[in-house]
């Protein structure tokens, strides 16, 4: 990957809910806006699978997470990012050059469909705002 391409990461403990939703929305948003952005996602203690209620909620907005798998992410990877969004579980200590945003979102695991959709919609809104910021920054640099 070209080192000039900005990287953004979405991190939570299990990488099975919020961070998976955020990464999927970010990939879609980058494509819609025509931005060359690398999207990373991972967890500090990854689960075995993406939560089924998250897969279902994302399918409701046309995003397929059936083949997505939680995985780990380490500090070295995160320190290569322009921005890291955590999902309310941040204990990260990263280089001062990395913009870390803690979104403090509730965990959708075990919640009913309506609540998971509400969380999904909030994640989508935050990703859109993040890309508004990123687009302005890239425009200033470019």
Classify residue 2: in a domain, yes or no: no
Confidence category of residue 3, pLDDT binned at 50, 70, 90? low
What pLDDT, in 10s, does the model give residues 77-128? 998 999 999 997 666 666 667 888 999 999 999 999 999 999 999 999 999 9
Classify residue 85: in a domain, yes or no: yes
Q: Is the pLDDT of residue 142 over 70?
A: no
Return the pLDDT at 141.
Answer: 56
Return the pLDDT at 12.
Answer: 92
Return the pLDDT at 5.
Answer: 85
Classify residue 77: in a domain, yes or no: yes
User: Count of domains in the chain?
Assistant: 1
Return the pLDDT at 1.
Answer: 44
Return the pLDDT at 44.
Answer: 87
Classify residue 66: in a domain, yes or no: yes
What pLDDT, in 10s, does the model give residues 22-48? 999 999 999 999 999 999 999 989 999
* Model confidence pTM above 0.85: yes
Classify residue 49: in a domain, yes or no: yes
Residue 101: domain span: 7-141
- Which CATH number characterizes residue 95's domain? 3.40.50.2300
Classify residue 45: in a domain, yes or no: yes
Confidence category of residue 60, pLDDT binned at 50, 70, 90? very high
Average pLDDT, the chain: 90
Classify residue 1: in a domain, yes or no: no
Hey, CA dihedral for 130, 132, 138, 141, is it positive or negative? negative
Classify residue 71: in a domain, yes or no: yes
Return the pLDDT at 90.
Answer: 60
């Amino acid at each position: 990957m070209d080192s000039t391409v900005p990287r953004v990461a979405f991190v939570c403990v299990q990488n099975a809910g919020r961070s998976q939703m955020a990464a999927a929305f970010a990939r879609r948003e980058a494509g819609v806006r025509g931005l060359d952005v690398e999207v990373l996602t991972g967890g500090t203690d990854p689960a075995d699978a993406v939560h089924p209620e998250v897969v279902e909620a994302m399918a409701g907005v046309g995003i397929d997470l059936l083949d997505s798998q939680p995985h780990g992410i380490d500090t070295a990877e995160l320190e290569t990012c322009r921005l890291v969004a955590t999902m309310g579980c941040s204990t990260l200590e990263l280089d001062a050059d990395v913009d870390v945003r803690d979104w403090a979102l509730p965990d959708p695991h075990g919640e009913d469909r309506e609540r998971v959709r509400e969380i999904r919609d909030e994640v989508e809104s935050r990703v859109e705002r993040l890309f508004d910021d990123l687009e302005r920054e890239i425009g200033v640099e470019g």
